[in-house]
Amino acid sequence: MSVAEQRASSPLPLTIEDVEAAAARIAPMAVRTPLLSSVALDMATGAEVFVKAECLQRTGSFKFRGAYNRLAMIPDADRARGVVACSSGNHAQGVAEAARLFGVPATIVMPNDAPVIKRARTERSGAVVVPYDRVTEDRLAIAHEIAERTGATFIHPYDDPGVMAGQGTIGLEIAEDLAAKGIVANRVIAPVSGGGLIAGIATAMSERMPGIICQPAEPAGFDDLTRSLEAGERVANTARSGSIADALLADMPGVNTFAVHQRLLRPGFAIPDEAMLRAMGFAINELKVVGEPGGSVALAALLEGLVDVKGETVVVVLSGGNADPAHIKAALDAAA
């Protein structure tokens, strides 16, 4: 049996049953976000486009889903010792808020250059923030040391099946809402950092809408997932900073996430900063929602014409809306 055949026959770390169980766990706390449409967006792309507005999710991004599901899976005695995570801001806020709801302590390792608004909201939920230097320090090493010293449970930002399952509930909602309209999507595009979001979405939507094309959108210079898919193995980014998409700067796809990616994804798109800003401005002007730069990369892939979707039904995920005022102003200027 070839390596490709072995890979195709091996069990994946995430199943549709995992995603369905996560949907039941998070239902009392998570927002069922809307699928938005716009005549202007359809005219600009030649497609029927739906935007999954996770910027309207609790804490302002999809990350609350995976964080809450993962905390709910921790045994009570272990959960009481708290949780620790590392994040530039959205996973941080999701874990902090989920921990607050469960009444347990949270410690978050955040880069010094994280947006001020993300750190403030993480602390608002009661978490302790431990800063680090994104370029010279290893956030995973710092987080694991804290977990070992305190007995807290480490919650990985993307490479944890429980987190991936929580993010996959987005795919379930998309499939259910489209089915209620009698619509079958041809393609779904989602923002990618370490790949937990798109792994979960692809798991759900490939099951509910067989044959759908699932593709990642990443910042230019940080398109490690597309390069990994093309290489057939995980490859790393050479840079650790240098994009306004602070939420999408993971070094490389995760081990668990890439196992799903290889089975269910096609290569995607690398988006420059200027295109993210234009997409943000479009979303504000036409959809009346605010996306942060990294949350807007999938929408940017369509608006920049990086893929021909004429005649298709396409879903793009607007994954987060925790944008600082300077980026919002720049986005409006770019759109103008």
Q: What is the pLDDT of residue 65?
A: 98
Choose among 228, 229, 153, 158: nearest CA to 198. Answer: 158
Q: What is the DSSP letter of 7?
A: H
Give the architecture-level CATH label for domain 3-61+161-335.
Answer: 3-Layer(aba) Sandwich (3.40)
Taking the C-alpha atoms of residue 204 and residue 20, their distance in angstroms, rounded to an integer, is 9
pLDDT, tens digit only, all 336 positions of the chain: 444 444 555 789 999 999 999 999 999 999 999 999 999 999 999 999 999 999 999 999 999 999 999 999 999 999 999 999 999 889 999 999 999 999 999 999 999 988 888 899 999 999 999 999 988 999 999 999 999 999 999 999 999 999 999 999 999 999 999 999 999 999 999 999 999 999 999 999 999 999 999 999 999 999 999 999 999 999 999 988 889 998 899 999 999 999 999 999 999 999 999 999 999 999 999 999 999 999 999 999 999 999 999 999 999 999 999 998 999 999 999 998
pLDDT score at 178: 98
Residue 106 phi/psi, 5-degree rounding, is -135, 140
pLDDT given at position 8: 55
Hey, is 261 helix, strand or coil? helix
The total of other beta-carbon atoms located within 10 Å of residue 39's CB is 8
What DSSP line would sit under 267-296, residue for residue?
A: --EEE-HHHHHHHHHHIIIII-----TGGG
Question: Architecture of domain 63-154 in CATH?
Answer: 3-Layer(aba) Sandwich (3.40)
Closest to 152 in 3D by CA, of 104, 97, 98: 104
Residue 155 has φ and ψ, to the nearest 5°, of -115, 105
Which distant-in-sequence residues (6+ apart) come within 8 Å of 321 by Cβ? Answer: 55, 56, 60, 61, 289, 290, 291, 292, 295
* Nearest-angstrom CA–CA distance, 295 and 315: 14
Q: How far apart are CA 260 and CA 7, in angstroms?
A: 10
C-alpha Rg value of the chain to the nearest Å: 18
According to CATH, where is 3.40.50.1100 located in the chain? 3-61+161-335, 63-154
- Amino acid 62 reads F
